[in-house]
Amino acid sequence: IGEVSAIALLIGGVFLIVRRVISWHIPVSFLIGVVFLSGIFWLMNPDQCADPIFHLLAGGVFLSAFYVATDMPSSPTTPIGMLTYGFLCGVVTMVIRQWGAWDDGAFYSVFLICMLTPLLDKIKPKAYGR
């Protein structure tokens, strides 16, 4: 399947979320990060930048969001850490696509943001009353 069939990757990812094999936090925030930054780029310059739907369906975004970024040993364990991790992966994917030398930065973004996992695991809400 690889990067070719986005619908098959999406169905498989939803299946993993429904079966509670992976949490929804990372894939959803990854996709939101891609849509957020690609939407900004597209609104600023629609002649040179593709729309957010193109960026979601092109390359390894679904593969990275559902299968690579959710790798348990290398992803954060706290919900806020997972949301931040996924969003940063999506944003870095778009930065690499826009200004980098590679056309698809989804895998590279996951590898780069994995270095922040220990720091993201330290983000915890304050205890009530303190």
What does the domain layout of the chain look like in residue ranges?
24-121
Q: What is the pLDDT of residue 88?
A: 97
Phi, psi values for residue 92, rounded to 5°? -65, -35
- Confidence at 86, pLDDT banded by 50, 70, 90: very high
Question: Which amino acid belongs to residue 99?
Answer: W
pLDDT above 70 as % of the chain: 96
CA distance 113 to 109: 6
Q: What is the pLDDT of residue 100?
A: 87
Given a cut of 90, whether residue 103 has pLDDT beyond it is no
Q: DSSP character for 19?
A: T
pLDDT digits (tens, 9 = 90+) for 49-84: 999 999 998 888 999 999 999 998 999 999 999 999
